[in-house]
Amino acid sequence: MDMNNSNVDISDEKLEASKSPTGWSIIWREILRDKVALISLIFLVLVVLFVYGISLILNQEEIVTVDLFAIHEPPSEEFLLGTDYGGRDIFGQLIIGTRNSLSIGILVTLMTGLIGIIYGLVAGYFGGTVDNIMMRILDFFLILPFLMVVIVFVAIVPKYSIISFSLIMTAFLWMGIARLIRSKALQEKELDYAQASKTLGSSNLKIMFTQVLPNLSSLIIVTMTLNLAANIGLESGLSFLGFGFPESTPSLGTLVSYATNPQTLESRWWIWLPASILILVLMLSINNVGQALKRATDARQRRG
């Protein structure tokens, strides 16, 4: 992440002593000071470690295999959270679902981030007609009824897979970050340091990515964190409707979708409620961390 690092041999201590005040130390300090954010962060780290760790050991085949002798069992010692209509262990599905939801959330966030950053940077840096045209295109994507268009695409794409699902989501989710980056880049490129780079012979491409981009890093980190929470919500929503993950791959949304059966909703809470709560708590925690980051990067809002 550190764009400043050139390969000159400067000892680490020296670097440490000269940390920029807008850097990681401030972010860290802000999170430590904000108890809610700290707890959220610890929770997230634990969930990630647990989910990715356990799913290495878990036998996914076994979990998604239908067992007709154990349909709709309530929580017991064998099945910590009971079983679903196919006799599959909910707890195991919960872990794999969380892993899948997190993974796709991160993947989509990174891909939309990459597209959004490049798009916004180009539009904002060049400005003028280029910006005008690019923003009109962006506006168009923004007014599309996101959920419907994604569902239609999911329905018509041949050979549907996790990759195509994340590509479809990415195609209609890059606009928010692009717009933020663009408006910040518009301001930054007018600053003397960007102008100076031009007089020093740096190309536009070089100025955009090595001079302006590092100054947008805090905005990018904050936005991507908040986007991650939103993307997990969207993914589970789509999976809930049946237009997310393919059936063989459980997601948190898939578990919640069992609740569309009124009987399950009414009397078999162990199937859908844990997944619902997990989605909620995950999104809440990521948002909390994101908000703390936001405060850390905005000096006026900093708590101390």
Partner 1 sequence: MWKFTVRRILIMIPQIFLLSILIFLMAQAMPGDALSGLIDPNLDPKEIAKMREKLGLNDEWYAQYIDWIKGAIQGDLGESFRFKMPVSELIEQRLINTFWLSVVTLIITYLIAIPLGITSGRFNDTWADRIITGYTYIGFATPVFIFALVMLWIFGFHYGWFPTTGSVKPGLEPGTFDYIVSKIYHMLLPAISLALITTVNTVQYLRSEIIDTKQRDFIITARAKGAPESRVYNRHILRNSLLPIAAFFGFEITGLIGGTIFVEQIFGYPGMGQLFYESILLRDYSVVTSVVLLFGIASILGALISDVILSLVDPRIRIK
Partner 2 sequence: MGFLEVEDLKVHFPIKGGIFGRTVDYVKAVDGVSLSIEKGKTYGLVGESGSGKTTTGRAIMGLNNITAGKITFDGYDITDLKQAELDVRKQIQMIFQDPYSSLNPKKRVLDIIAEPLRNYEKLSKIEEKKRVQELLELVGLSPESIVKYPHEFSGGQRQRIGVARAIALKPKVIIADEPVSALDVSVQAQVLNFMRDIQEELDLTYLFIGHDLGVIRHMCDHIGIMYKGRYVEQGTTEEIFNSPQHIYTKRLVAAIPDIDPSQRKKQIQFRQEVQTEYEQSYNEYFDSDGLAFKLKPVSKTHLVALPEVE
DSSP state, 89?
Answer: B
Annotate each residue in 112-151 with x if it binds partner 1 (CB under 8 A) or - if it does not, as one string. ------------------------x--xx--xxxxxxx-x
232 half-sphere exposure, CB direction, 13 A CA radius: 26
Using CB distances below 5 to 8 A depending on partner kind, what does residue 283 bind out of partner 1, partner 2, none? partner 1
Give yes or no for a contact between 150 and 172, defined as CB atoms under 8 angstroms apart. Answer: yes
Question: Which among 67-75, 111-119, 200-208, 281-289 is the span making contact with partner 2, rule CB under 8 A?
Answer: 200-208
Closest CB to partner 2 among 29 and 198?
Answer: 198
Q: Contact between 47 and partner 1 (CB under 8 A)?
A: no
Any bridge partners for residue 89, and if so which? 83
Token representation of residue 149? 């268009």
Closest CB to partner 1 among 146 and 209?
Answer: 146
Using CB distances below 5 to 8 A depending on partner kind, what does residue 236 bind out of partner 1, partner 2, none? partner 1
Q: Nearest-CA neighbor of 96 among 242, 254, 250, 278?
A: 250
CA distance 24 to 190: 26
**Position among 128, 201, 262, 304 found at the interface with partner 1 (CB under 8 A):** 262
**173: amino acid identity, one letter:** L
Q: Contact between 95 and partner 1 (CB under 8 A)?
A: no
For the stretch 254-259, contacts whose Cβ atoms lie closer than 8 Å and that sit 24 or more positions apart, written own/partner, are 254/93, 254/97, 255/84, 255/90, 255/93, 255/94, 255/97, 258/84, 258/85
Using CB distances below 5 to 8 A depending on partner kind, what does residue 266 bind out of partner 2, partner 1, none? partner 1
**Position among 183, 215, 276, 287 found at the interface with partner 2 (CB under 8 A):** 215
Residue 203 zone, left/alpha/beta (φ > 0; ψ -120 to 50; rest): beta
**Position among 103, 217, 276, 287 found at the interface with partner 2 (CB under 8 A):** 217
Q: Contact between 18 and partner 2 (CB under 8 A)?
A: yes
Residues engaged in binding partner 1 (CB under 8 A):
136, 139-140, 143-149, 151-153, 155-156, 229, 233, 236-237, 240-242, 256, 259-260, 262, 265-266, 269, 272, 276, 279-280, 283-284, 287-288, 291
